[in-house]
């Protein structure tokens, strides 16, 4: 749902603070909606966040585990990654699924479009349900050398979300959405 309300923030000036291959950080001098001066930082993401819930005919799914540097902890999550802004989102989802699990799917359904951490970033996330699966070879990136993949009943992944064992936002959103759509 979009709003036609006028932006009540006023930008006085902007400057780039940091940039790398994945993000750019800008600092904005602003006038807030109440008329006060302030600073606003914005993290611009150069990729779309893309997550995939593979679901086979027996209601099994695949989750991947890896050490997340930013959290300094192990994380179980759905297969996911980044897709360049100018590349078709579904094409990026297909690449990520095959890369991390070796799976290919014949049926794809976009089940969510979400804004992640929208108070400080412009990152947009997409979650797809992938069905009619075929197994193949994984094609891991260098940063995924410690990636662990496991096939679990979908209901087990749902329990992991409910127990707080899966905390990644795209994973939580996708698993809960599939549970609702498929009646788990």
Q: At what angle do helices 154-162 and 169-182 cross, to 10 degrees?
A: 130
51 and 37 within one domain? no
* 1 falls within a domain: no
Predicted TM-score (pTM) of this structure: 0.90
* 38 falls within a domain: yes
pLDDT tens-digit profile of 109-155?
A: 999 999 999 999 999 999 999 999 999 988 777 777 688 999 999 99
176 and 152 within one domain? yes
CB atoms within 10 A of CB 30: 17
> Tell me, what DSSP letter sits at residue 11?
E
51 and 39 within one domain? no
22 and 53 within one domain? no
Q: Which two tokens stand for residue 122?
A: 């412009």
Whose tokens are 């979908």? That residue is 154
Say which CATH number the domain at 72 has.
3.90.79.10
User: Residue 114's pLDDT is what?
Assistant: 97
100 and 19 within one domain? no
- Judged against a pLDDT cut of 60, whether residue 2 lies above it is answered with no
60 and 36 within one domain? no
Whole-angstrom distance, CA of residue 4 vs CA of residue 132: 40
- Judged against a pLDDT cut of 70, whether residue 54 lies above it is answered with yes
How many domains would you assign to the chain?
Answer: 2
* 142 falls within a domain: yes
> Tell me, what DSSP letter sits at residue 6?
P
Whose tokens are 């498929």? That residue is 182
CA angle 100, 121, 169 (to 5 degrees): 45
**What is the phi/psi pair of residue 13, to 5°?**
-155, 160
Higher pLDDT, 113 or 3: 113
* 3 falls within a domain: no
Of the candidates 115, 92, 110, the one whose C-alpha atom is nearest the C-alpha of residue 45 is 115
CB atoms within 10 A of CB 164: 8
61 and 22 within one domain? no
Work out the percent of the chain whose per-residue pLDDT is above 70: 97
* 158 falls within a domain: yes
* 5 falls within a domain: no
63 and 40 within one domain? no
- Judged against a pLDDT cut of 70, whether residue 166 lies above it is answered with yes
* 2 falls within a domain: no
Helix (H, G, I), strand (E, B) or coil at 175: helix
Structural domain boundaries, residue 149: 47-182
The dihedral of CA 144, 147, 153, 157: what is its sign?
A: negative
Strand order in the sheet with 80-84: 80-84, 47-54, 124-134, 104-115
User: Residue 142's pLDDT is what?
Assistant: 73
């Amino acid at each position: 749902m979009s709003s036609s309300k006028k932006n009540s923030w006023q930008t006085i000036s902007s400057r780039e603070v940091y940039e790398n291959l994945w993000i750019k950080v800008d600092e904005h001098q602003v006038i807030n909606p109440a008329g006060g001066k302030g600073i606003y930082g914005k993290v611009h993401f150069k990729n779309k966040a893309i997550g995939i819930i593979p679901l086979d005919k027996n209601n099994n799914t695949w989750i991947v585990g890896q050490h997340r540097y930013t959290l300094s902890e192990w994380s179980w999550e759905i297969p996911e990654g980044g897709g360049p802004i100018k590349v078709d989102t579904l094409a990026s989802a297909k690449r990520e699924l095959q890369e991390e699990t070796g799976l290919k799917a014949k049926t794809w359904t976009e089940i969510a479009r979400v804004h992640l951490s929208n108070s400080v970033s412009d990152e947009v996330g997409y979650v797809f349900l992938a069905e009619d699966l075929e197994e193949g070879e994984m094609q891991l990136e260098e940063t995924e050398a410690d990636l662990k993949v496991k096939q679990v009943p979908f209901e087990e992944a749902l329990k992991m979300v409910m127990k707080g064992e899966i905390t990644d936002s795209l994973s939580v959103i996708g698993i809960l959405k599939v549970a609702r759509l498929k009646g788990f």
